[in-house]
Amino acid sequence: MLLSLTIRDVVLIERLDLAFPAHLSVLTGETGAGKSILLDALGLALGMRAESGLVRRGAQQAIVAAEFDIGPGHAARAILTEQGIDAEDTLVLRRVLGADGRSRGFVNDQPVGVGLLKQLGDTLVEIQGQFEQRGLMDPANHRTLLDAFAGARDMGDAVRTAWQAWRGARDAREAAKAARTKAAADEEYLRHALSELDALKPQPGEETLLAEQRARLMHSAQVAEAMTAAAQELAGERGADHALNVAARALERVRDKAGGVLDGAIAALERALVETEEARAALDQAMRDHERDGDLESVEERLFNLRALARKHGVAVDGLADLRDDIARRLGMLEDGEAGLKRLAKDEAEARARYTAAAERLTRLRQGAAQKLDRAVQAELAPLKLDRARFSTTIAPLAPDDWGADGAERVAFEVATNPGAAPGPMTKIASGGELSRFLLALKVVLARVSSVPTIVFDEVDSGIGGAVAAAVGERLARLGQELQVLVVTHSPQVAARGRHHWRVAKNQAKDTTVTRVESLDEAERREEIARMLSGASITEEARAAAQSLLAAGAA
């Protein structure tokens, strides 16, 4: 719900801080006092269109901040998480509008685009009567509202799941069909490419091994000469191992006479003999491997053939083996492609049938809920002086190509204001005053399933009075039991129903005019309602009538 609204330098408002309670709050005041400025200011914070004319004359910028309490399951939290903004218990939307018409948005003091303010605002406040095509007036919301009234959440989820499965099966079949068509067009090329790859039999990692082998073979003579020389130095009568053995035997003969002085040298010689033997064995193995390396010409031929084939297909040499498997798979699609397509078509048909069944169940639920909604709204219309009007929920089937995750029909709330007239969209059929009352009746019926916790009505009582105004006030108060409701009104019957009452007035000085907003106590409320009843000259009769209205509203 809306907790507070802070306004700085908006039109006639220099500085204003308002705290909003729950239930029904009313704003009253003489025409031109500036009540609409409050809604303009709130609209700024909610991301609505900004104009430089909203900046107070002489000020550099206008600032509006709206603070909201958002519960654990509020839709705004998901939007904040998606944007990487920490969701706290309270949410502050702030808009700064410069005199040049440029504006900046902030969410919890983090700079954001104005579009995000509007996206969040749509989950927080619904303004009826001033901004068209929002909330209940937006046909795009009607299907969602009907589903909420019908309690169709689980069934709607089932339809969305079935739709995604059907779409996935359809995409898989179409992708397989396109791949098979392309494979058929490229069959001759694919078979030639597979033949080349099979003839060469490339192996992963082969390029590195061949490159290393080629490097060795390019210096084969030098390497062989060095290995031979090393082997000769290690072996033979004048070799290293012969010398080490002679030295070790000489020391061993006098070891017992040296008193342990030669033990370290003898141990080192023994280790050297072992290391020398290991070196000779490793060198022998290297010489045998060198002999098996093959000839440079054949190694270079294979390496260059692999690299040429890789360039031809635009892949790395190590990717040739995978390319071969992919080409074989594509050719396999031609051989078993028809059977595979039939399997995928069967999967798609089954997924479509599951979606159709789920969508039909949702349609029946919507149809039943639409009848209940129409009866409930119709019952609210007569007391609102709309007894000749008719409200209807239209459920129109969509063409199969237009079916989607939300089902197979379009939902629209329509009205007819005269008997026998064809129903049509509320915004086109109803006048301003009628539209507000239609929306009020609909909102009262949908209050318990509303996803938006705060609703603002701008002069919902336009053009009515007496018993009809009293009926409007009674319904607004009832709506206030479920939601936070703010009403701009000229009707004393509506004003008397409020839990909280503000009066909007102008202060005119020599050079300036400033709008102020005052919170009224009970005595001040009675005076304000009496003024609304009798005009500038307040009579005792008007005060008595105001007291009567207040008493009826409190009952």
C-alpha distances in angstroms, 495 versus 171, 418, 473, 546?
Answer: 59, 30, 7, 10
Please give the average per-residue pLDDT across 50-62, as a whole number.
Answer: 88
| Dihedral sign (CA 422, 426, 432, 438) | positive
* Residue 140 in this model has a pLDDT that exceeds 80: yes
39 vs 47, 54, 277, 323, 483, CA distance in Å? Answer: 12, 12, 97, 65, 18
Q: Tens of pLDDT along 389-419?
A: 999 999 999 999 999 999 999 999 999 988 8
User: Has residue 524 got a pLDDT over 70?
Assistant: yes
pLDDT tens readout for residues 309-357: 889 888 998 889 898 888 888 777 666 667 778 888 999 999 999 999 9
Residue 118 has pLDDT above 70, yes or no: yes
Phi, psi of 60 (to 5 degrees): -80, -30
Domain-located, residue 300 = yes
φ, ψ at 239 (rounded to 5°): -80, 175
Distances (CA, A) of 549 to 363, 433, 528, 532, 537: 46, 23, 12, 12, 19
- What mean pLDDT do residues 272-292 have? 79
| Average pLDDT of the segment spanning 246-273 | 83
Structure tokens at 538: 């307040």
Q: Are 333 and 340 in contact (CB under 8 A)?
A: yes
Q: Quick one: how far is CA 247 from the chain centroid?
A: 83
C-alpha neighbours within 13 Å on the C-beta side of residue 388: 7
- Answer whether residue 119 is part of any domain: no
Alpha carbons 381 and 510: distance in angstroms, whole number:
48
Least confidently predicted of 205-209, 230-234, 273-277: 230-234
For residue 374, being part of any structural domain is answered with no
Read off the tokens for 437.
Answer: 């009352």
The rounded distance, in Å, linking the Cα atoms of 503 and 506 is 10
Mean pLDDT of the region 359-377: 96
In this prediction, residue 277 carries a pLDDT of 84
Q: Given a cut of 70, is residue 124 above it in pLDDT?
A: yes
Q: Are 477 and 441 in contact (CB under 8 A)?
A: no
With respect to residue 448, please indicate whether it lies within any of the assigned structural domains.
no
Q: Kindly state whether residue 228 falls inside one of the protein's structural domains.
A: yes
Condensed to tens digits (0 to 9), the pLDDT of residues 441-478 reads 888 898 888 878 898 888 777 777 788 888 888 989 98
| 260 found inside a domain | yes
317/309 Cα distance (integer angstroms) = 8
Question: Would you call 398 exposed, middle or buried from its count of C-beta atoms within 10 A (0-12, 13-18, 19+)?
Answer: middle
Q: How confident is the model at residue 220 (pLDDT cuts 50, 70, 90)?
A: low
Q: Is residue 271 part of a domain?
A: yes
Q: Is position 297 within any domain?
A: yes
Position 130 confidence tier, pLDDT thresholds 50, 70, 90: very low
What pLDDT score was predicted for residue 511? 73
pLDDT of residue 200: 87
% the chain with pLDDT above 70: 94
Number of domains in the chain: 1
Query: Is the whole model's pTM more than 0.85, yes or no?
Result: no
What is the chain's length?
555
pLDDT of 283 over the 90 cut: no
Q: Which domain holds residue 265?
A: 185-331
Contacts of residue 151, defined as CB under 8 A and 6 or more positions apart, other chains included, come to none
Q: How far does CA 511 lie from the centroid of its chain? A: 50
User: Alpha-carbon Rg of the chain, whole angstroms?
Assistant: 43
Q: Give the pLDDT of residue 67.
A: 95
Tokens 């053939």 belong to 305
